[in-house]
Amino acid sequence: MTGQRRAAAAVALLIASTAALAWLPAFAASPSPAGGEVRLDSSARPLYLAGCAVAGAAFLALARRAWRTRHEPSPRHAVRAIWLVAIALRIPALLAAPWLSDDVWRCLWEGEVQRQGHSPFAHAPDSAELAGLDEALRARVAHPSIPAVYPPAAQLLFRVAARGLHGWKLLLVAADMAIVALLLRRLARCGLPRARALLYAWHPLVVLEFCASAHVDVAALLLLVAALAGAGRTRVGELLRGACAGLGGMVKPQAFVALAGFALQRRFAALAAAVVAALLVTLPFAGDGPRLFDGVRRYAHDWEFNGLIHPTMVRVAERLKGLLEGLPDQPLHLWAVRELGYPIVPNQLGRKLSLLLFAALAWWSARRWRDRPALLALALLVAFLATAPAVHPWYAAWIVPFLPLLPHRAGRALLLLTITTLAAGAVKVQSLATGIWEEPAWVALATWLPPCVVGAFDLWRAPAAGAAPPPAGGGISAG
């Protein structure tokens, strides 16, 4: 079989398996209450994992081929193929009902709450003040006792655009495709093969999380890519990039990583624009005051899922707890205070240790890549994934737009992580089959072990300088 035929077969497998994953409830559904959450039968998890394996293997083969392409004999043909396959992947996902995540129902609910004159920061979904609104939609919102977690810019987007599932999904698919367009432009400007854009455009994680599950992250990711993708340093361009970073961070805070590069390079116009944009979108919710942070505080305090370093930090905290509680109260009754009056809780102490580790990694990254804002943003996102207590699959999708701009050796461990993180979806699949949320140990191993092994191997084989040479045209190294 020729290389072209193998690539065509891989594309066909990728489209078929990704569509099958988006429509899995059609093959493994069990009876469920009308309008309620999808229920799956016992065959769902094996089918899901098989679909992930096929989609992942097909995509990795195509990504390896694209990464190793040095010269495109027909750039227009490559761009046309990227768009056609990207559309073919997204159509089944767009038509499928969200089932891998229930976040979209909260987005739609909080948009409806605002249109009825209420604040989602002030009233949780189960609040008596919201009785009489769309009860069918409210019944689908997870964790109804928790008020809004998404920041103000996301809330305004919900209010304007989240008026129905299909319209909302169309908007997010448009944002997703805009990222593809920006990547194609960036690759051409850097002198890199535009075929590399398929690393984002054809990625099954992107299709499943942004198009099928309709996570608002893609809107923030578009703004982050726009903030980092601009060429030149005109005053207007700097203001636009800063505004994109500020607005993106107020959709999902991960987009604020762009500000680190702006600050280190003393790009004060961009920083000022980011601050102004963030304040402007917060003004409609100024009356909520401290309640703006109630939901995100609950999330940061309680949520854990599929972390890499955080579980180890909790175990360290358990040992530290015993050590601290064994210390005498004197001098100054320091150990009687115990975290401002609360007993030492290993879970919360572990979060503080993870946060300290993230701060250390961020400081190291800032020193190493202070002149490369895009590479610094990627490093901060990777540090966040490594240290966060909760690492949902769509969090890993944030690093995907950076992959086409990286050399193969520098990016393959990260690429592998964006595939292995699909294994975490098996937890949701099993909960829909049994009604029990349980995280087996093999999920974390399947997610983190392969990319960590590949990353360690690549670091071991790296040149003595400790960094891979930048690709032709600069790529992400050009900032």
pLDDT at 229 over 70: yes
pLDDT value, residue 466: 44
**Inter-axis angle of helices 152-161 and 268-282, to 10 degrees?**
60
Last-in-domain residue among 369, 387, 405: 387
pLDDT value, residue 162: 87
pLDDT at 471 over 90: no
Same-domain status, 394 and 472: yes
Lowest mean pLDDT among 34-48, 103-117, 190-204: 34-48
Q: Are 25 and 31 in contact (CB under 8 A)?
A: no
CA distances from 62 to 48, 53, 85, 400 (A): 21, 14, 12, 15
Q: Are 121 and 291 in contact (CB under 8 A)?
A: yes
pLDDT at 106 over 80: yes
How buried is 284 (Cβ within 10 angstroms: 0-12 exposed, 13-18 middle, 19+ buried)? middle
Last-in-domain residue among 360, 387, 414: 387
pLDDT cut 70: percent of the chain above it: 89
pLDDT value, residue 107: 97
Rounded distance between C-alpha atoms, residue 21 and residue 258, angstroms: 33
pLDDT value, residue 386: 97
pLDDT at 41 over 70: yes
pLDDT value, residue 317: 83
Same-domain status, 274 and 315: no
Contacts of 368 (CB under 8 A, 6+ apart): 379
| 241 or 331, which is more confident | 241
pLDDT value, residue 226: 95
Same-domain status, 282 and 242: yes
Mean pLDDT over residues 44-71, rounded?
Answer: 93
Q: What residue type is assigned to position 440 of the chain? A: P
pLDDT value, residue 269: 94
Q: What residue type is assigned to position 108 of the chain? A: L
CA Rg value for the chain: 23
pLDDT tier for residue 1 given thresholds of 50, 70 and 90? low
pLDDT value, residue 9: 95
Same-domain status, 369 and 422: no
Same-domain status, 208 and 320: no
H or E stretch covering 99: none
pLDDT at 239 over 70: yes
Tokens 């990353």 label which residue? 455
- Reported as a single tens digit per residue, the pLDDT across 402-432 is 999 998 888 999 999 999 999 999 999 999 9
pLDDT value, residue 469: 43
pLDDT tier for residue 385 given thresholds of 50, 70 and 90? very high
pLDDT value, residue 330: 47
User: Whole domain around residue 292: which residue ranges?
Assistant: 3-306+390-478
Rounded distance between C-alpha atoms, residue 177 and residue 172, angstroms: 9
Same-domain status, 463 and 452: yes
pLDDT tier for residue 327 given thresholds of 50, 70 and 90? low
Rounded distance between C-alpha atoms, residue 270 and residue 461, angstroms: 38
Same-domain status, 350 and 259: no
pLDDT value, residue 29: 76
Rounded distance between C-alpha atoms, residue 439 and residue 339, angstroms: 29
Last-in-domain residue among 387, 411, 434: 387
Same-domain status, 249 and 326: no
pLDDT value, residue 456: 93
- Reported as a single tens digit per residue, the pLDDT across 264-274 is 999 999 999 99
pLDDT at 474 over 90: no
H or E stretch covering 142: none
Same-domain status, 336 and 467: no
pLDDT cut 90: percent of the chain above it: 72
- Reported as a single tens digit per residue, the pLDDT across 145-166 is 999 999 999 999 999 998 999 9
Rounded distance between C-alpha atoms, residue 245 and residue 288, angstroms: 24
User: Which among 38, 12, 42, 13 has a CA at the least distance from the CA of 26?
Assistant: 38
In this structure, which long-range contacts are made by residues 36-45, counting pairs with CB atoms below 8 Å and at least 24 apart in sequence?
Answer: 36/139, 36/140, 37/102, 37/140, 37/432, 38/97, 38/99, 38/432, 39/432, 39/433, 40/429, 40/432, 40/433, 41/433, 42/433, 44/429, 44/430, 44/432, 44/433, 45/426, 45/429, 45/430, 45/433
Rounded distance between C-alpha atoms, residue 21 and residue 169, angstroms: 17
Average per-residue pLDDT for the chain: 89
The reported pTM is: 0.92
Highest mean pLDDT among 190-194, 213-217, 233-237: 213-217
Please report how many Cα atoms fall inside a 13 Å half-sphere around the Cα of residue 137, on the Cβ side.
21
pLDDT tier for residue 33 given thresholds of 50, 70 and 90? low
Same-domain status, 238 and 351: no
DSSP assignment letter at 343: P
pLDDT value, residue 132: 87
Same-domain status, 382 and 397: no
| 465 or 243, which is more confident | 243
pLDDT at 34 over 80: no
pLDDT value, residue 335: 47
3-state SS, residue 305: strand
Same-domain status, 31 and 145: yes
Number of domains in the chain: 2
Tokens 């071991």 label which residue? 460
Q: What residue type is assigned to position 150 of the chain? A: Y
